[in-house]
Amino acid sequence: MHSLLPTLRRTLGDDAVLTDAADTAGYVTDWTGAFAGAALAVVRPADTAGVADTVRLCAQAGVAVVPQGGNTGLVGGAVPDGSGGDVVLSLERMRRVRGLDPVGDTITVEAGVVLRAVQERAEAAGRLFPLSLGSEGSCTVGGTVSTNAGGTAVLRYGMMRELVLGLEVVLPDGRVWDGLRALRKDNTGYDLKQLFIGAEGTLGIVTAAVLRLFPATPRRATALVALASADAATELLPLLRQECGGTLTTWELLGRQAMELVLTHVPGARDPFDSTHEWYGLVELAAGSDDVGERLEAALHAAAAQGLLLDAVIAGNPAQRTSLWTLREGLAEAQKLDGLSVKHDITVPISSLAGFVAEVGPRLRALLPGLRLVTYGHVGDGNLHYNLSAPVGDEAALRAAAGELTGLIYDAVAERGGSISAEHGLGVLKRGAAATYKSEVELDLMRAVKRALDPGALMNPGKVLP
């Protein structure tokens, strides 16, 4: 037995240190099933002091630490490699809400608090915490900070980076940085919290955060629209902005193949249109007291008058709204249930997005006939999940062609000044591609930051940095 284990048990208590394979299995395999490793132990401290003790003891023993929240990440960042030599540090026992300030509109929460619990706590106080993802019932504050998560309300509220005011972080040497400030203005040199947001656990362990709250938006208007092309989706955006103003919260896109997967695999999913369409858009407006229903109808009439819409269904009640959202939020699960897929979480300038779709699809199908393009995403932010599913019954063909298909997609993204990761991060999945698509100067700066904060390279090794 590694000598670190009895020390960790003495310091944190026996129940905080898991080593049996049956107990650690859920922590060493990721949500997609594509990344599986092994751990020396899974350590579950109950407070910041326990996280600091764990990191310090691991550093002294030369053992690497892999931070983990809800383990819903999609790039293999939260699970250890196959060596069995690393410790997984789970924040799951750190679930306290430390405070809510209704005047300053902030909530201070520990890293293991699940996103939905933050939303619910804000709602109970008559406020809104707007980050919204399909995984919100399992993903955590620490994970969403560390991946700079996006989701379906970024158009209005921004990504997690824009929602964080302060952080508490355990540094790689075990010291605690108390940056839990609830200030909108703080120009005292480098904005250190931004280094840890999106760092995917490679620079330290987030133990708590101060998050921004917003006025509640109980009035909502939601519609699914049928579109002739991806072009129509990007052309509609300025119109929606103009007609809906600040109430426009969501503008999502789904291709027909995506719709088919969700109809096939998600119980209760139903196509609300009588005929099939190539593309669909999900639009939602939200407000405190505005009549968003009227605004949405006016916007859809204006869009139809300009020939941008083929059809539209407006949710008439909360159940119908849920049913429209199921078509969008069920997609990740549907594609997983369908079998092998290759994910591309990409972004290009919105004005280039339709051209990207029109050009790249046919080139991919020419490389692999029968390839299913499962395209969906946050079109209002220029972010597509440009995912691939195998030709029916031929996963081997997709496996064999995956490298070439991904290269073609990433080259086309780079040519348009886009990014190979819009919101999921680099993790293990994309760290090799980052070496190709990031400049030497950017990579040098990233390595310099890593060396400065984690000279022993013990924080989530093998992730993010090529």
Q: Which residues bind ligand 2HG (CB under 6 A)?
A: 74, 134, 331-332, 343, 345, 377, 385, 387
Judge contact between 94 and 67, C-beta under 8 A: no
Residue span 186-205 as binding mask against ligand FAD, x where in contact by CB under 6 A, dash where not: --------------xx---x
Q: Which listed residue (206, 308, 314, 401) binds ligand FAD by CB under 6 A?
A: 206
**DSSP characters over 272-307:** -SSS--SEEEEEEEEESSS-HHHHHHHHHHHHHHTT
Closest distance of CB 370 from ligand FAD, Å: 26
With CB under 5 to 8 Å by kind, the binding choice for 72 among ligand FAD, ligand 2HG, none is ligand FAD
3-state secondary structure 122-139: HHHCCEECCCECCCCCCC
Q: Which is nearer to ligand FAD, 199 or 373 (CB)?
A: 199
Angle at 326 between CA 321 and CA 327, to 5 degrees: 105
The residues, any chain, with a CB within 8 Å of residue 370's CB and separated by 6 or more, are: 391, 392, 394, 397
| Spatial separation of the C-alpha atoms in residues 445 and 443, rounded to whole Å | 5
Tell me if residue 329 falls in helix, strand or coil.
helix
By CB under 6 A, tell whether 80 contacts ligand FAD: no
Closest distance of CB 141 from ligand FAD, Å: 8
Q: Which is nearer to ligand 2HG, 134 or 158 (CB)?
A: 134
Secondary structure E strands in 55-203: 65-68, 87-90, 97-101, 106-110, 127-128, 164-170, 176-179
Q: Which is nearer to ligand 2HG, 212 or 343 (CB)?
A: 343
| Spatial separation of the C-alpha atoms in residues 198 and 369, rounded to whole Å | 37
Query: Nearest to residue 466, comparing CAs of 450, 90, 155?
Result: 450
Q: Which is nearer to ligand FAD, 299 or 464 (CB)?
A: 464
Judge contact between 91 and 140, C-beta under 8 A: yes
Query: Nearest to residue 434, comparing CAs of 403, 465, 463, 402?
Result: 465
By CB under 6 A, tell whether 139 contacts ligand FAD: yes
| Spatial separation of the C-alpha atoms in residues 183 and 166, rounded to whole Å | 8
With CB under 5 to 8 Å by kind, the binding choice for 343 among ligand FAD, ligand 2HG, none is ligand 2HG
Q: Which is nearer to ligand FAD, 12 or 309 (CB)?
A: 12
By CB under 6 A, tell whether 174 contacts ligand FAD: no
Q: Which listed residue (149, 303, 354, 426) binds ligand FAD by CB under 6 A?
A: 149
Judge contact between 18 and 41, C-beta under 8 A: yes
By CB under 6 A, tell whether 144 contacts ligand FAD: yes
Q: Which is nearer to ligand 2HG, 423 or 454 (CB)?
A: 423
With CB under 5 to 8 Å by kind, the binding choice for 255 among ligand 2HG, ligand FAD, none is none
With CB under 5 to 8 Å by kind, the binding choice for 324 among ligand FAD, ligand 2HG, none is none
Contact residues toward ligand FAD (CB under 6 A) are 31, 66-74, 77-78, 91, 111, 133-135, 139-140, 142-144, 146-147, 149-151, 200-201, 205-206, 332-333, 423-424, 427, 460, 463
